[in-house]
Amino acid sequence: MKLKTSEPFWLVKNGIINSYPSLRENIETEILIVGGGITGSLIAHQCMRDGHKTVLIDRREVCNGSTSATTSMLQYEIDVPLYELTELIGKEGAEKSYWACYNSIDDLGKVAKEVKSNCGFKKKQSLYFAALKKDLDWLKKEYETRKSAKFPVKWLEPEEIEKKFKIKKSFGGILSEQGGSIDAFQLAHDILKFNHKKGLQIFDKTDIKKVDYKKSGVTVTTEYGNTIKAKKIIYCNGFESTEIIKDNFVELLSTYAIVGEVSEDDQAHLNDLLVWNTAEPYIYLRTTDDNRVLIGGEDEDFVDAEKRDALLNEKAKKLQKTLKKYLPDYDFRIDFSWAGTFGETKDGLPYIGEHPNFPSTYFVLGFGGNGITFSVIGMEMVSKFLKKGKHELEEYFRFRR
C-alpha cells in the first residue's frame, strides 16, 4: 500500500536519519513488532523497558511510512466529540478515553526527554473553532460537556479569537490548555536508536510473506525465506493492517497537507497553538520550529494512489486559499505539499488488543487525528497484556466492539 505521495516535509527536512539491515538469518525472540514508525518505536520502547527480548521489522526504511507524513499534532480531543462519544459508549468510557489521551501528551514528553530526542516536543494550547454559524450549538454543547468533565477549557468569542490569535471568520470556539507538537519522524528514529543500543534488534526492508499463528507462538517467513519465531507478535502497522484483518473495522481516506514559510513576526502568535475547526472535512494547522506554517485537510474518501496524487496540486491551492481566509495578513508561500492515508473508526477510538482470528497476537492501531496519543496509551496497555493483566480501556478499544 502506498501511504504517502510527493515530498512529506519531515522526511525532506530530516533525511534518512538511521537505517538498519534487512534480515538475512533465522532468529527467535520473545516479542516481534511489525512496523517501524512512531507506534512501533513506542511499543518497542515499552517492551524493552519491561525486559522483553524484542525484534522490530519494517517492510520499508524505518519511519518512512505514515510517520514521515504525519502532521504531528498532539491533541487529547478525539475526532468524535466528547458529548457524542458519551452517547455512543457511555459517560465513563468516553471520559476515560479523553483523559487517557490528555495524559498521554505529557507521557510522550517524558519519553522524548528519556531518549534525549531532538524532536522539538512542545506543549501548546489547542483551539477548536466553529467554521459555520450552524455549528455553534453543538460546539457549545461540547464545551459544556468537557467543562463538566473537568477538562481545562475556555469559550472564546470570535472577537477574542481574532484579537488573541489573528484568526478571522470564526464563530467562536473552545480553547484547551492541553496540547502539543513534535517531529514524530525524528522522535521515532531517536527512540529506535536509544533502544537499539540496549539490545533491540531492528531490521528494515524486511517484508512478511507468511505468518503461522499458534497459541504457543508465531512463525514469520520473510519474502527471502528467513524465519522469525516469536512468543508474541504485535502489529503496529497502522492502515496496512487492513491487508491482514478482513473485518470492515476502519474506513481509509486520503488527506492533504502543505507547509510554507511566513515571516517570523507573522507566525509568532501561533507558535504555542494548535488549530482545527468544525468544517467537514476539518482543517488543522500548526507552526513548525523553523518559521513555517503547516495546514492540512481537504480529505477525500478514497485511497487510490494514482487518483490521490493527481489531486495534489489542486488540493494544495485549496489549502492555501483556506489559510488566506482565516489568516488574510499572511504572506504564505507553499514549500512542500503532500498527501497521506488515514483512517476513521465508527467511534473515533483505536483498536488495541487481541483479535479472535489471530492467536499469540496483539494489535496497536491508532487511527484518526489521535494516532500518536493512542500509541502512547498502547504502551501501557501492551505492558499489562504481556503480564496477563487487564486495562480499563480494553473493552472500549477492542475489535468487534
φ/ψ bin of 169: left (φ > 0), alpha (ψ from -120 to 50), beta (otherwise): left
- Mean pLDDT within 94-123: 97
Pairing between strand 361-365 and 54-57?
Answer: unpaired
Nearest Cα residue to 63 out of 78, 47, 82, 42: 42
- Cα angle, residue 325 at apex, residues 322 and 326 outer, rounded to 5°: 95
* pLDDT value for 3: 45
CA dihedral 73, 74, 80, 82 (to 10 degrees): -140
Domain parsing of the chain, residue ranges: 4-69+185-248+348-397, 123-178+250-344
Rounded to 5 degrees, φ, ψ at 213 are -100, 125
Which DSSP letter does residue 343 get? E
Least confident of 47-56, 145-154, 215-224, 306-315: 306-315
* pLDDT value for 301: 87
Q: How confident is the model at residue 4 (pLDDT cuts 50, 70, 90)?
A: very low
Q: What's the pTM?
A: 0.94
- Give the CATH superfamily of 123-178+250-344: D-Amino Acid Oxidase, subunit A, domain 2 (3.30.9.10)
Instruction: Give me the chain's average pLDDT, please.
Output: 94
φ/ψ bin of 238: left (φ > 0), alpha (ψ from -120 to 50), beta (otherwise): left
Pairing between strand 333-344 and 251-261?
Answer: antiparallel
Cross-strand pairs, 32: 55, 233
Query: Residue 223 corresponds to which amino acid?
Result: E
Residues 234-274 pLDDT 10s = 999 998 999 999 999 999 989 999 999 887 677 788 999 99
**How far is 327 from 161, CA to CA, in rounded Å?**
12
Neighbour order of strands in the sheet with 179-181? 73-75, 179-181, 122-123
Higher-scoring residue by pLDDT: 4, 193: 193
**How far is 169 from 175, CA to CA, in rounded Å?**
16
Nearest Cα residue to 121 out of 106, 134, 99, 141: 106
* pLDDT value for 70: 86
pLDDT at 31 over 80: yes
Neighbour count for residue 42 (Cβ, 10 Å): 27
Residues 167-222 pLDDT 10s = 999 999 999 999 999 999 999 999 999 999 999 999 999 999 999 999 999 999 99
Grid cell at residue 195: 533502544
Instruction: Give the architecture-level CATH label for domain 4-69+185-248+348-397.
Output: 3-Layer(bba) Sandwich (3.50)
Cross-strand pairs, 156: 173
pLDDT at 393 over 90: yes
Q: State percent of the chain over pLDDT 90.
A: 81
Residues 272-309 pLDDT 10s = 999 999 999 899 999 988 889 999 999 988 878 888 88
